[in-house]
Structure 1
Amino acid sequence: MTRLAGLIDMDLVGFDSPELFLRYSRRDESSCLILNLHCHDHEGFIQQCRLAAEASPPVVFICGHEDVAAAVRALKSGAVELLTLPIDPIDLAEAVLTAFALDRRQRRHRAARESLRQRHELLTPREREVLPLVAKGLMNKQAAAVLGISETTLQIHRSQVMRKMQADSVAELVRIAATLHIPVWSDTDSDTGDFPSLELLATLRDRWS
């Protein structure tokens, strides 16, 4: 590991067990977890697989040649890379840099989701009812009928939703709703009219991504 630190400008922190790592207060910067696979310690192996599955931070596994079968199972849990002993420092450095890049992307995505969640909390209960209707693609008259309010009132709520969620278009609102896992409104949720059959929210999100 000291050779790795010489190849990459990074700090190394050692842990004797997964429990010690979980109690560690992680700094707000890119990182990865390098695990020496404990294939012969079933409980430890399960803990390591769980850490890899959570992927925060991303995991790089190291194992002996005789442990490859179990290591493949661990790799399927979500680890970034699997390296066998003896370790080539260059291979390890490349794996760590890949993990760092993944960690940066995951951190950005988590920050973006948290920002959207905070915006959603600013909505009033009525505005939270309006959002999935607008994201579904209902016209103002249709959405107003679903909620039993006037079209003018619906337009006011819709404007507030777009403003508070910082959405410049319905397509952007669809992406936001999908990111926050807001349930899509279904025609079967209301008996106020024969509304058009539209594609699912996730499909719309993919189309406009």
Structure 2
Amino acid sequence: MSDPNRTVHIVDDDEAIRQSIGFLLRKDGYEVRTHASGTAFLKEATRETPGCVLLDVRMPDLDGLEVQARLAAQGIALPVIMLTGHGDVTLAVRAVKAGAVEFLEKPFERVALLAAIEEALRQAGRNDRHRLAATEAKVRLAALTPRERDVLDGMVIGRPNKLIAFDLDIATRTVEVHRANLMEKLAARSLSDVLRIAFAAGLGEPEVQASESPSSTT
């Protein structure tokens, strides 16, 4: 049975390149999917697409940099390894600055290719874990009442209970009750737990946690 976590997408308009790299990777146990153009690949790619991408810089319809940009714009966090021909190093550097894991200049060594793919798949695994954490966090937040969400929003930006109460025009004791309830629903044992769940769900900015002081939590 093929392992989706070891999937490599080869996006290159050169059929010989697709076949030769595909043959090499299948021999090494990878699940390989080939695409003759950036357009064809983008039609199939979704946020749930597993693995990583070997992406040629120069293609006739969409070049590799544009495909990379469109993946990012669509929230598709597939790690990219850029394949470049002679003289394309400047473009490859741009690709790395845009988030590519590595760029390989053709012809490349087998060892270098496999090392880049393994690093890309490790990154893909981290991306998958982050996505699962975000989904779980959003499910937990969905259990909160609107007022509990209001209190959570205040906690995320570092507001103490008294200021949250002032902002919401309710008693401080009421804020404390809502806070206790939301912590129970989130299965959070501390403010840090609450913040981690909130940040995973996309609320606030992680820097808030670093600036939070014990005196601001009462």
Q: TM-score range by the shorter chain?
A: 0.7 to 0.9
Amino acid at match of 1:36: D
Partner Cα separation in structure 1 for residue 166 and residue 128 of structure 2: 41
**1:134-168, CA deviations, whole angstroms, 9 ceiling, x for partnerless residues?**
342514x5533432223443232111211222211
Query: Residue type of the partner of 1:48?
Result: V
**Runs (5+) with no aligned partner, structure 1:** 185-199
Alignment of 1:66-145 (within 5 A): 66-135=87-156, 136=158, 138-139=160-161, 141-145=162-166
Cα deviation, 1:95-115, whole Å, max 9, x if unaligned, reads 111100000001100110111
Report the count of equivalent residues.
187
Q: Report the Cα offset of residue 19 of structure 1.
A: 1.9
DSSP 3-state at the match of 1:79: coil
Residue type matched to 2:67 in 1? Answer: Q
Q: Which residue, 28, 47, 61 being the options, matches 2:66?
A: 47
Does 1:32 pair with 2:39?
A: no
Q: Secondary structure at the match of 1:23?
A: helix
More strand by share: 2
Counterpart of 1:37, as a letter, is: V
8 Å Cα contact 1:60/1:99 also seen in 2: yes
**Structure 2 counterparts to residues 118-197 of structure 1, below 5 A:** 118-135=139-156, 136=158, 138-139=160-161, 141-183=162-204
Task: Show the counterpart of 1:23.
Answer: 43
Distance 1:6 1:51 in 2: 31
Please report the TM-score for the alignment, with normalisation by the length of structure 2.
0.73
Tell me, yes or no, if the aligned pair for 2:51 and 2:121 is still in contact at 8 Å: yes
Find the aligned partners of 1:95 and 1:132 in 2 and give their Cα distance.
41
CA–CA distance in 1 between the matches of 2:68 and 2:50?
A: 21
Cα drift, residue 59 of structure 1: 0.7
Structure 2 alignment gaps of length 5 or more: 1-20, 213-218
Q: TM-score, normalised by structure 1?
A: 0.76
CA positional deviation for 1:24? 1.9
Alignment RMSD, CA only? Answer: 2.7
2:82 aligned residue (57, 61, 67): 61
Counterpart CA distance in 2 for 1:169 and 1:58 is 34
Given that 1:33 and 1:57 are in contact with CA atoms closer than 8 Å, whether structure 2 keeps it comes out as: yes
Question: Matched residues, percent identical?
Answer: 30
Amino acid across the alignment from 1:99 = A
